[in-house]
Structure 1
Amino acid sequence: MTAMTELLADPNDFLHRQQERIKAPNTKIAASMIVKRYAKVYLDEVMDGLVFASEFPVVSLEACRFTEELNLIVDEAQVRTVDSRREAWRGVFSEHLTPVVDSLHKATRLPLIILWENIAVRMNSYLRKAVQKNPDQAWMVQEVAAELREREGDVFGLERNPLAEYLAPCEALTTQVMRKTCCYYHKLQKEKELPYCLVCPVQ
């Protein structure tokens, strides 16, 4: 288990271990799979609170540890809540996911657009399932989806919103959105798993 702050400071050892564990041909593809997985487990941790709660959770990098099996361990004592959803979005992106993307991009030179679309795919998945599980509160999910799409770059610590072009339309959150970039999942050595991801643009 590795503290996220330590992992991001020097991700190379973790990348090489994961490359071997998931049978990726190189660390670039390992980084893509790591971000896909991290986005899923991290968004699962924070998004219900962002959508349905009156106070919004902020789960910092310092509160998180990542296991070799790519599971997220959160120190709940370090989780705080805020009254402003905008501040919570900053906690999700500029203070958390943007540093994850930057660290793995610098370590592997995997294009930023792939890493950010990996996160968008996981966000789309969360929003789709949230609507399906909570049909009476679908309007709340749509409201948050619209807000995320409209957020400017400062929430991400960037010049522009890197997710907007990859997010599902707010009026059709239950539809699958095909990727624009390839995550390289099909490059992994697999035995029984699907040969391509479900939204693959190249299959």
Structure 2
Amino acid sequence: MSVKLSAEEIAILVRDYRLTKEPIINSNYSLCAQELLNTKQALKYLQKIAPFFQSPSILVTASLFAKRYSVLTMASAFYAMSRFDKGIPVHIDNIWIEAENNAKPWLPKIRLIDSTVSELILDRNQWRDEVLRGIFADNLAKVWQSLTIITKIPKTILWENTAIYVNWLYETKLKEDASEQELARIQEDYHYIVKQAPGILFGERKNPLTHYCGPKVTIEESEHPVRLRKTCCFYYQTSDETKDFCISCPKIKRP
């Protein structure tokens, strides 16, 4: 069944989950997401946004862009799925990246071309699979493949960048002000996404997130347990020579 988000639901997603209703006029950094699948257009876009990251190479730019793109694609879609039981269509031919000129920090938003959403009727598991397919197989997997072709960045880095934000959204952000019933649904969805969902929903042979969603460990650099990364995102190569590694970086030598 197709419905619309309510005004209250839209307000939440606009305020906290990177959704926007209006295009940014005369922005040099907004584009139809489908253009990311055109190697020439995608390369041009990565070169254009590189200064926002103070990136020294197209490889580093691709990794840092992937972090932002995964968040804007997943955040509102996951919130709507797990809190509203509504499916936002974020397949790649239905979204625009909207970004302010010279914004600091560079935090783009997502705009839907068709804002009609799907609503749960009977089988939530089947419905959820279709929502997840739209997020991953019909969007992120296609963009990650394009970035890999253009920059030679390993897809393992791009999927771990994705997994980090899946973990953050479901372990922290989506739980804010949630009822007991919503918390149970959030936990169920999270477990399914990272442990049980088949690879076909991600456009891959197997679930690409499971490997990056293991237990947290205690390290000296953090007061709280963290998941150690298995791949490096290249953040340390940005800005100046004193930039430190992320505390979870695999390049850090540990006892």
Which of residues 78, 86, 94 in structure 2 aligns to 1:47?
A: 78
CA-atom RMSD in angstroms: 2.4
Give the drift of 1:26: 0.5
Rounded to whole Å, the distance in 2 between the matches of 1:98 and 1:79 is 23
User: Structure 1 stretches of 5 or more lacking a match?
Assistant: none
Q: Where do residues 16-95 of structure 1 align in structure 2 (5 Å cutoff)?
A: 16-66=47-97, 67=99, 69-75=106-112, 77-83=114-120, 84-95=127-138
Task: Give the TM-score of the pair, scaled to structure 2.
Answer: 0.70
Task: Write out per-residue CA displacement over residues 2-45 of structure 1, whole angstroms, 9 at most, x where no aligned residue.
Answer: 11111321311011112233211100010000001111122212
Bigger-Rg structure (1/2) = 2
Rounded to whole Å, the distance in 2 between the matches of 1:135 and 1:168 is 26
Which of residues 97, 109, 134 in structure 1 aligns to 2:178?
A: 134
Give the aligned partner of residue 231 of structure 2.
181
Give the drift of 1:63: 2.6
Contact 1:58 1:80 in 2 (8 A): yes
Contact 1:28 1:109 in 2 (8 A): yes
Rounded to whole Å, the distance in 1 between the matches of 2:231 and 2:179 is 31
Specify whether residues 15 and 85 from structure 1 end up closer, same or farther in structure 2 by C-alpha distance, changes over 3 A only. Answer: same
Rounded to whole Å, the distance in 1 between the matches of 2:211 and 2:60 is 23
Q: Aligned to 1:52, what secondary structure does the other structure show?
A: helix
Q: Where do residues 81-120 of structure 1 align in structure 2 (5 Å cutoff)?
A: 81-83=118-120, 84-120=127-163
Rounded to whole Å, the distance in 2 between the matches of 1:175 and 1:62 is 39
Task: Write out per-residue CA displacement over residues 164-188 of structure 1, whole angstroms, 9 at most, x where no aligned residue.
Answer: 111255xxxx963221111010110
Contact 2:88 2:115 in 1 (8 A): no
Give the aligned partner of residue 3 of structure 1.
32
Which of residues 174, 193, 210 in structure 2 aligns to 1:164?
A: 210
Aligned residues: 198
Contact 2:33 2:96 in 1 (8 A): yes
Specify whether residues 100 and 120 from structure 1 end up closer, same or farther in structure 2 by C-alpha distance, changes over 3 A only. Answer: same
Rounded to whole Å, the distance in 2 between the matches of 1:176 and 1:57 is 31
Task: Give the TM-score of the pair, scaled to structure 1.
Answer: 0.86
Which of residues 140, 146, 152 in structure 1 aligns to 2:198?
A: 152
Give the drift of 1:54: 2.6
